[in-house]
Structure 1
């Protein structure tokens, strides 16, 4: 049985993850964490309760799944590194220093960070890198990302990751990104390769957060078998 604690358990992603994990025979949710003052503090979650600090529910935990915020993630990954607990997060909007801290934790424990847990995004990335290499410098590259109007960071973490990967492959110093925040769009990423007389467009649309939750489930089952390291969805899918 894999024992899991969910940080940010009452948020959009936290609720999707709770729902999916509760249906698994090999996973036990042993507690959750939410911000002080949240109305669900003290409520039951799995075999435990919802508390305000991860340290209060880390006993005999195999994996911490954190969908809170950058500051909380940094604090929690350090706590997990001290105790030897595997750590998974999909939070975005980190500063360079915060991301270095998370990477450094991977020297002590297995850490999975994925701005997007959808399997299709990992495939989109692989195809886009191949397209960039095949099309060459004669093609312009642009990225458009669309999310719901409550999303705080722009560009999205997924867009940042895709543009960084494209920069490495192409040697370009910048890949232009257009960010749109509107309605309740869960997530859409479009990579455009524009050449003379033609245009190639690669699009991924997330229609439900259950897609991301399924990726988190795969990450939970995968991470408990791994040594210390800093991993991504590409590692989990194992292209």
Structure 2
């Protein structure tokens, strides 16, 4: 079986978190992915459902893997980046709060391996990026407002997704303003509104399940294996 047809050997980094648990559950349902291992800060059991588990301090001893998906914390990010470079493996990361130095390290890693970092792994949001950039470019002089809503436990505002949407709008020539709402158990809603005298366009994405982010990360992992070194976006891997 060659690489093109063999399952992607996946390492889940940050396995004890909500995203890590969703990744393990959903990856186990796929024939094109084989979970090589799971890494978390602490290990309570060495093997769970046939998957070997490792503490973060044991990262050097994990089995061979093709791609690592990282949803951890900034203090754990450097180690997984270095491990991927050392193993010549691709890195898919959604870890937020990275420092400028860590961003620079990610750029350096992209010179050696394929790298994808995103603030949001929804495939729908990836399409929304394209629509927002096109709308901003086509509507010079229109007001651009981004309104985002999340659950009450989310502390950062505006959300990382909203800020990324603002960067996308800026590429099209618009200057975004932001508004944030924290209420109930809202998974995530983002509205990008373009307004001029007498008319308004709204581009909206609503997430109703956190599984969409795990599915998007798995989609990226499968399509990133074997790519040349460099920075990739989720949009690059949609086809």
Structure 2 length normalisation: TM-score? 0.89
- Of 134, 156, 171 in structure 2, the residue corresponding to residue 153 of structure 1 is 156
Q: Identify the residue that residue 2 of structure 1 maps to in structure 2.
A: 8
Query: Aligned-residue CA RMSD in angstroms?
Result: 1.9
| Deviation larger for 40-49 or 195-204 | 40-49
Seen in structure 2, the aligned counterparts of structure 1 residues 100 and 5 have a Cα distance that, compared at 3 Å, is: same
- Of 172, 182, 199 in structure 2, the residue corresponding to residue 169 of structure 1 is 172
**Cα distance, 1:198 vs structure 2:** 1.7
Distance 1:169 1:75 in 2: 36
8 Å Cα contact 2:37/2:54 also seen in 1: yes
Task: Detail structure 1 runs of 4+ shifted over 6 Å in the superposition.
Answer: none
Deviations 1:116-159 (CA, angstroms, capped at 9, x unpaired): 1111111111111111122211x110111112222243222211
Q: Identify the residue that residue 124 of structure 2 maps to in structure 1.
A: 120
> Map of 1:1-239 to 2, 5 A cutoff?
1-36=7-42, 40=44, 42-44=46-48, 46-53=50-57, 55-137=59-141, 139-170=142-173, 172=174, 174-238=175-239
Question: Where does the alignment leave 5 or more consecutive residues of structure 1 unmatched?
Answer: none
Seen in structure 2, the aligned counterparts of structure 1 residues 45 and 29 have a Cα distance that, compared at 3 Å, is: farther
Deviations 1:38-64 (CA, angstroms, capped at 9, x unpaired): 6x4535254312423352443311111
Q: Identify the residue that residue 3 of structure 2 maps to in structure 1.
A: none
Question: Where does the alignment leave 5 or more consecutive residues of structure 2 unmatched?
Answer: 1-6
8 Å Cα contact 2:38/2:51 also seen in 1: no
